[in-house]
């Protein structure tokens, strides 16, 4: 019966649905944990600065392990790595919720340290599923249908982005913050059972016999690069960008990058095949994906402060204002993915990035007297551009790489997104904080929430915000130009 299922013409959608279960669990969980952070901080009697490591620890683990897990899945098969990832993700979510009880049982262990440890392991599990998910989806869709498949996957991510905060708020309010973690046990179990049943072992458990040796040196160097890069960026504003720890971190990063390139170029079985970057479509796609998420994250980080400080909206009202950002991906992702399969990738990536740039430029023109209608218009234009760009761009990246490399390519796509997310927050925070400090105010952007909309503090905040949005808008236009001059990629394969 299963063999007949595996040969079904609709099998690609069965694989998509199976992978989507794991993806939406991951995204929903992230949004739910973000909502639960203030309650966790209060319950465990720790500061918000400390409790943020519950999110940061998982993000760092995901970013650091994506490339090694992507390469490992290319070698040993994607299904085994995906199954282990789902098991690890669900199990560590369960133990994360048990952290206070476990720390009390052990005795002297701090519950927040205990939780961060489990979150690191959960991040490794998430990296396994992220590195394999897109690779499996692209492998079952023909080259001229990959935009459709990736667009549908983007729609799932957008849906998870909406569900996560809502579900997290309900669980924290009516069940307790622990259930934000425990809800992932049944969800991961369902995704695991689905993967065991529906993922064809002959297709997704196949080993790469030509490359059976794992590049441990390359994995170690890539992990150190990501960890040092993200740690250095995350702490620059706190300790000073020209302080000794940051300068040492920058030096270690540069040396690690040089060492990684040297090692991978001479290795017979590299973890990351650097010849991938000889493909112009691939390089432009990865870089523009990173720059796109720089803009997306800067927008997501700054706009809530602007809406609450200037229009005095409540957090719930801000959430409603930002819903178009997620809805645009739900609707436009599958639509532009489908259309790009038929009319080419370049028109959609170029136009989408131009819209992103236009929306960010509009936000860069906002002042304390700007209307909510103008602000909403800028948000919608930017969100539509982002929704139009992402699916065709991902399809182009996979089309420009060989199938047996799709595990590491999937990891790179997710890594460019995760790194863009972290970098975007750091850049936005640094620019806004520095602008506020230039006027003699604290660098804590939380202070703007209680300030008068016509005060000097709000004016300084908006000045920094405008610099951020003009900078990010320019990067989107540069990316659009790069896509426009890149030769058209052929879809007929």
Q: How confident is the model at residue 127 (pLDDT cuts 50, 70, 90)?
A: very high
User: Per-residue pLDDT tens for 351-368?
Assistant: 999 999 999 999 999 988
Mean pLDDT on 8-14: 85
User: Per-residue pLDDT tens for 285-311?
Assistant: 999 999 998 998 888 888 888 888 888
pLDDT of residue 479: 96
pLDDT of residue 444: 65
Percent of the chain past pLDDT 90, that is, above it, reads 30
Identify which has the larger pLDDT, 86 or 155.
86
User: Per-residue pLDDT tens for 233-249?
Assistant: 777 766 777 888 889 98
The structure tokens 């790069």 sit at 482
pLDDT of residue 465: 92
Q: What is the largest CA-CA distance in the chain?
A: 71
Q: How confident is the model at residue 493 (pLDDT cuts 50, 70, 90)?
A: very low
Residue 183 pLDDT > 90, yes or no? yes
Best-predicted range by mean pLDDT (38-52, 67-81, 459-473): 459-473
Mean pLDDT on 159-180: 85
Residues 382, 473 contacting (CB under 8 angstroms): no
Percent of the chain past pLDDT 70, that is, above it, reads 94
Identify which has the larger pLDDT, 197 or 7.
197
The structure tokens 């990035």 sit at 353
**Domain 272-493 class in CATH:** mainly alpha
Residues 426, 234 contacting (CB under 8 angstroms): yes
Mean pLDDT on 365-383: 91
Give the Å distances, CA to CA, from 221 to 56, 102, 131, 214, 275: 21, 34, 18, 13, 18
Q: Which residues contact 58 (CB under 8 A, 6 or more apart)?
A: 30, 119, 120, 122, 123, 126
Q: Look at residues 166, 175, 170, 176 and name the one whose alpha carbon lies nearest to residue 44.
A: 176
Report the alpha-carbon distance of residue 413 to residue 394 in Å, rounded.
7
Q: Which residues contact 430 (CB under 8 A, 6 or more apart)?
A: 236, 237, 241
Report the alpha-carbon distance of residue 32 to residue 320 in Å, rounded.
16
Residue 5 pLDDT > 90, yes or no? no
Please tell me the pTM assigned to this model. Answer: 0.81
Residues counted in the chain: 493
Average pLDDT value for the chain: 85
Using the 8-state DSSP alphabet, how is residue 108 labeled?
A: S
User: Per-residue pLDDT tens for 388-422?
Assistant: 998 899 888 888 887 777 778 888 888 888 888 77
So what's the architecture of 1-209 in CATH? Up-down Bundle (1.20)
């Amino acid at each position: 019966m299963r063999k007949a299922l595996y040969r079904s013409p609709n099998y690609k959608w069965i694989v998509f649905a199976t992978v989507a279960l794991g993806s939406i669990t991951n995204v929903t969980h992230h949004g739910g944990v973000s909502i639960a952070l203030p309650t966790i901080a209060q319950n465990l009697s720790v500061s918000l600065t400390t409790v943020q490591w519950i999110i940061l620890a998982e993000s760092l683990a995901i970013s650091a392990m994506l490339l090694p897990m992507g390469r490992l899945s290319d070698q040993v098969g994607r299904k085994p790595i995906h199954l282990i990832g789902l098991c690890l993700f669900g199990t560590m979510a369960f133990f994360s919720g048990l952290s206070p009880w476990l720390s009390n049982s052990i005795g002297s262990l701090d519950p927040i340290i205990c939780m961060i440890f489990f979150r690191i392991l959960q991040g490794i599990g998430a990296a396994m599923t992220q590195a394999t998910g897109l690779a499996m989806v692209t492998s079952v869709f023909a080259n001229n249908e990959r935009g459709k498949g990736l667009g549908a996957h983007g729609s799932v991510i957008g849906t998870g982005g909406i569900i996560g905060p809502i579900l997290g708020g309900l669980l924290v309010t009516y069940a307790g913050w622990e259930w934000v973690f425990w809800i992932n046990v049944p969800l991961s179990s369902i995704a695991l059972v689905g993967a065991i049943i529906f993922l064809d072992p002959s297709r997704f458990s196949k080993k790469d016999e030509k490359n059976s040796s794992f590049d441990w040196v390359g994995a170690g160097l890539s992990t150190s690069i990501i960890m040092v890069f993200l740690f250095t960026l995350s702490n620059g504003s706190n300790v000073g960008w020209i302080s000794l720890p940051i300068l040492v971190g920058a030096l270690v990063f540069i040396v690690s990058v040089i060492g990684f390139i040297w090692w991978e170029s001479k290795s017979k079985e590299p973890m990351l095949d650097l010849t991938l970057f000889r493909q112009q479509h691939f390089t432009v796609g990865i870089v523009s994906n990173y720059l796109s998420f720089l803009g997306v994250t800067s927008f997501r980080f700054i706009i809530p402060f602007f809406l609450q400080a200037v229009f005095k909206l409540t957090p719930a009202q801000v959430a409603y204002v930002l819903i178009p950002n997620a809805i645009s991906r739900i609707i436009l992702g599958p639509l532009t993915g489908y259309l790009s399969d038929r009319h080419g990738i370049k028109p959609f990536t170029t136009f989408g990035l131009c819209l992103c740039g236009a929306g960010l430029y509009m936000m860069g023109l906002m002042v304390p007297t700007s209307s909510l209608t103008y602000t909403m218009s800028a948000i919608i234009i930017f969100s539509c551009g982002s929704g139009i760009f992402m699916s065709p761009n991902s399809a182009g990246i996979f089309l420009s790489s060989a199938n047996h490399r799709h595990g590491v390519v999937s990891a790179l796509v997710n890594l460019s997104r995760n790194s863009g997310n972290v970098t975007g927050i750091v850049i936005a925070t640094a620019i806004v904080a520095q602008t506020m400090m230039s006027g003699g105010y604290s660098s804590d952007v939380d202070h703007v929430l209680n300030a008068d909309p016509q005060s000097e503090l709000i004016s300084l905040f908006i000045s920094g915000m405008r610099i951020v949005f003009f900078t990010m808008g320019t990067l989107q236009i540069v990316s659009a130009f790069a896509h426009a001059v890149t030769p058209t990629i052929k879809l007929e394969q």
